Amino acid sequence: MSEDEASSPIGRYLETASMTVQWRKSSHSGGANDAACVELAKLPTGIGIRDSKNPFEEHLSLSGAEFVSLVRQIQLGAIVRP
């Protein structure tokens, strides 16, 4: 895949698809009108987080420790939903 193809939304999708990543929607995401829906996936380097309304856009990649820290901060109320 060329550099231009890899940087396009289609290229990112193809690259992700070739890794056979299985994205799972959070059970805490709301219905179809919820603006804060997320999906998670196990990646070779850690955990992926993406917006379920924009699955072909880039995702956030966190190490396992970073993901645990993020979840803990949310549970403690240090990070609140907009």
Whether 58 contacts 71, CB under 8 Å: no
pLDDT at 55: 85
d(CA 52, CA 30): 11
Distances (CA, A) of 75 to 11, 46, 57: 35, 20, 27
pLDDT the model gives residue 30: 66
The one-letter amino acid code at 39 reads: E
Average of per-residue pLDDT values in the chain: 76
- Contacts of residue 23, Cβ cutoff 8 Å, sequence gap at least 6: 39, 40, 41, 48, 50, 52, 55
For residue 70, pLDDT beyond 70 = yes
Residue 10 in tokens = 């289609």
pTM of the model: 0.64
Query: d(Cα 60, Cα 55) in Å, to the nearest integer?
Result: 12
The pLDDT, as a whole number, for residue 38 is: 85
The yes-or-no verdict on residue 42 having pLDDT over 90 is yes
Whole-angstrom distance between the N-terminal and C-terminal Cα of the chain? 38
Q: Supply the pLDDT for residue 1.
A: 40
